[in-house]
């Protein structure tokens, strides 16, 4: 299996001299199975480059795009997804309905005539919109997906992706439930933290890779508590308790420069070591490929 990160930044694209190492595109990750089938998770600005890559490398449709939720940073690349504008291209968008708004409604809204020159229903590709439900399973060729609702300001889905013997969890825009104001308190109250996050821990239990929101450090988290994102320290503890093999930091704060992410990455590895865990930690970046 292969994981390719096309966008790893939260909230808004941030190109510039301070984000050269990690990149500035918003969330988009491509997963390629053992039988060479592809699924795409989230349609942030990274989806533009992903679409160009699919066409350039002659990867055949249908293209299956699963969305975690409809916040702008997770759908803003969709109007620039080149396969939309190719005859005979087929795209399946998967997401869920909220308060009688379907995925079709949500995606059409960002491409109405006053927002974008081409309306979504007028593009050349054949598009299907598939409403999915939390706690159900879906099968795309040899890739099995399980879905769970996570903890965010808008209803958001996490995905467990299984292919062959590999299990990867994609859990972005998720606020781990932390009842403590310092890392020290958190590390001394693992049982309470485990109980507060029981359902999510069970979903991630023993997975090979956990790709998870790591928007804040512990200090910033205190100012942003309740905003629907996690700190790197809570995430490290969560990964340890869920017995994750590889923890992947993802969905970075747009204000973080490369050096801030380097520091957060080192700090996460320190926390893992201090807690006597063997879990590996990876800092995702735009363009990173992980071959499993
Ligand atoms: Zn986001
Ligand atoms: Zn969000």
| Ligand number nearest to the C-alpha of 74 | 1
Ligand 1 centroid from CA 71, angstroms = 6
| Ligand number nearest to the C-alpha of 9 | 1
Ligand 2 centroid from CA 67, angstroms = 11
| Ligand number nearest to the C-alpha of 157 | 2
Please give the pLDDT value at position 42.
Answer: 98
Ligand 1 centroid from CA 221, angstroms = 15
pLDDT in tens, 221-239: 999 999 999 999 999 999 9
What does the pLDDT average to over 246-256? Answer: 98
Of all residues in the chain, the percent with pLDDT exceeding 90 is 94
How do the domains of the chain map onto residue ranges? 2-286
Ligand 1 centroid from CA 11, angstroms = 5
Ligand 2 centroid from CA 151, angstroms = 10
| Ligand number nearest to the C-alpha of 26 | 1
DSSP string, the chain: -EEEEEE-BSSS---STTSTTT--PPSEEEEE-TTS-EEEE--STHHHHHHHHHHHTTPPSPEEEE-S--SGGGTTTGGG-GGGGSTT-EEEEEE--BTTB-HHHHHHHTTSTTT-SS-GGGSSSEEEEEE--TT-EEEETTEEEEEEE--SSS--EEEEEEETTEEEEEE-S-------SSHHHHHH-HHHHHHHTHHHHHHHTT-SEEEEE--B-HHHHHHHTTSS--BHHHHHHHHHHTT-SEEEEESB-TT--HHHHHHHHHHHHHHHHHTT---EEEE--TT-EEE-
Please give the pLDDT value at position 131.
Answer: 94
pLDDT in tens, 130-167: 999 998 899 999 999 999 999 999 999 999 999 999 99
pLDDT in tens, 76-122: 999 999 999 999 999 999 999 988 899 999 999 999 999 999 999 99
Q: Is the pLDDT of residue 183 over 90?
A: no
Ligand 1 centroid from CA 211, angstroms = 13
Ligand 2 centroid from CA 196, angstroms = 21
Ligand 2 centroid from CA 70, angstroms = 7
Write down the mean pLDDT value for the chain.
96
Threshold 0.85, pTM exceeds: yes
Please give the pLDDT value at position 103.
Answer: 97
Structure-model confidence comparison of residues 209 and 100, the more confident one: 209
Instruction: Residues 2-286: name the CATH superfamily.
Output: Ribonuclease Z/Hydroxyacylglutathione hydrolase-like (3.60.15.10)
Ligand 1 centroid from CA 173, angstroms = 5
Please give the pLDDT value at position 240.
Answer: 98
| Ligand number nearest to the C-alpha of 227 | 2
Ligand 2 centroid from CA 165, angstroms = 30
Please give the pLDDT value at position 179.
Answer: 84
| Ligand number nearest to the C-alpha of 11 | 1
What does the pLDDT average to over 249-267? Answer: 98
Ligand 2 centroid from CA 194, angstroms = 23
């Amino acid at each position: 299996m292969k994981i390719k990160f096309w966008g790893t930044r939260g909230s808004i694209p941030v190109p510039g001299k301070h984000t050269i190492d990690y990149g500035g595109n918003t969330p988009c990750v491509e997963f390629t199975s053992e039988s060479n089938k592809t699924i795409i998770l989230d349609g942030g600005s990274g989806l533009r480059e992903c679409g160009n890559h699919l066409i350039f490398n002659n990867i055949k449709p249908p293209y299956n795009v699963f969305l975690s939720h409809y916040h702008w940073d997770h759908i803003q690349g969709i109007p620039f997804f080149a396969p939309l504008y190719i005859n005979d291209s087929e795209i399946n968008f998967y997401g869920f309905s909220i308060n009688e708004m379907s995925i079709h409604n949500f995606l059409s809204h960002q491409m109405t005539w006053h927002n974008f020159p081409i309306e979504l229903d007028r593009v050349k590709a054949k598009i299907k919109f598939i409403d999915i439900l939390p706690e159900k399973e879906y099968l795309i060729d040899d890739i099995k997906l399980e879905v769970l609702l996570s903890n965010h300001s808008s209803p958001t889905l996490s995905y467990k992706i299984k292919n062959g013997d590999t299990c990867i969890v994609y859990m972005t825009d998720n606020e781990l439930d932390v009842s403590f104001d310092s890392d020290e308190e958190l590390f001394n109250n693992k049982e309470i933290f485990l109980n507060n996050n029981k359902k999510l821990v069970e979903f991630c239990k023993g997975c090979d890779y956990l790709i998870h929101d790591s928007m804040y450090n512990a200090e910033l988290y205190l100012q942003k508590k309740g905003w629907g994102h996690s700190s790197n320290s809570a995430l490290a503890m969560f990964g340890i308790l869920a017995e994750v093999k590889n923890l992947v930091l993802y969905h970075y704060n747009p204000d973080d420069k490369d050096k801030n992410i380097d520091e957060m990455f080192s700090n996460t590895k320190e926390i893992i070591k201090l807690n006597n865990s063997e879990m590996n930690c990876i800092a995702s970046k735009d363009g990173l490929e992980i071959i499993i």
